[in-house]
Amino acid sequence: DADVTQTPRNRITKTGKRIMLECSQTKGHDRMYWYRQDPGLGLQLIYYSFDVKDINKGEISDGYSVSRQAQAKFSLSLESAIPNQTALYFCATSDPTVTDTQYFGPGTRLTVL
């Protein structure tokens, strides 16, 4: 089984709808992240969380909110989706050891019409 899972994997929605993307991990990591990827732009950090009570905004948090329900679960919400939020969304986890490498989930492809 995958260490980092995301649901749904694909979602098409309409402008103005509320959408929640979910991320679960079995790696036992405290740190979790949400990124979006747009073609040709690399990845941009939306939110990150060091533990259940510690949530922080990334570089592009406007229009998004998150919830850390447990160490293993980190959800991303779009309160009122708009077309320019159409993107590939990745969840990642890391362990603050020497390397602190981030491990990514499979991604959610979101289309907002």
Partner 1 sequence: ELKVEQNPLFLSMQEGKNYTIYCNYSTTSDRLYWYRQDPGKSLESLFVLLSNGAVKQEGRLMASLDTKARLSTLHITAAVHDLSATYFCAVNQPGAGSYQLTFGKGTKLSVIP
By beta-carbon proximity to partner 1, the closer residue of 9 and 18 is: 9
Binding status of residue 10 toward partner 1 by CB under 8 A: no
Q: How far apart are CA 111 and CA 52, in angstroms?
A: 29
Binding status of residue 1 toward partner 1 by CB under 8 A: no
Closest approach, Cβ 25 to partner 1, in A, equals 13
Closest approach, Cβ 113 to partner 1, in A, equals 21
Given strand 73-78, what is the order of strands in its sheet? 4-7, 19-25, 73-78, 64-70
Binding residues for partner 1 restricted to 42-101, rule: CB under 8 A = 42-45, 48, 50, 58, 90, 94, 96, 98-101
Q: Residue 84 forms beta bridges with which residues?
A: none
Q: How far apart are CA 35 and CA 28, in angstroms?
A: 20
Q: What is the radius of gyration, based on Cα positions, of the chain?
A: 13
Closest approach, Cβ 27 to partner 1, in A, equals 13
Number of residues that bind partner 1 (CB under 8 A): 24
C-beta atoms surrounding 17 within 10 Å: 14
Interface with partner 1 by CB under 8 A: which residues? 31, 33, 40-45, 48, 50, 58, 90, 94, 96, 98-107
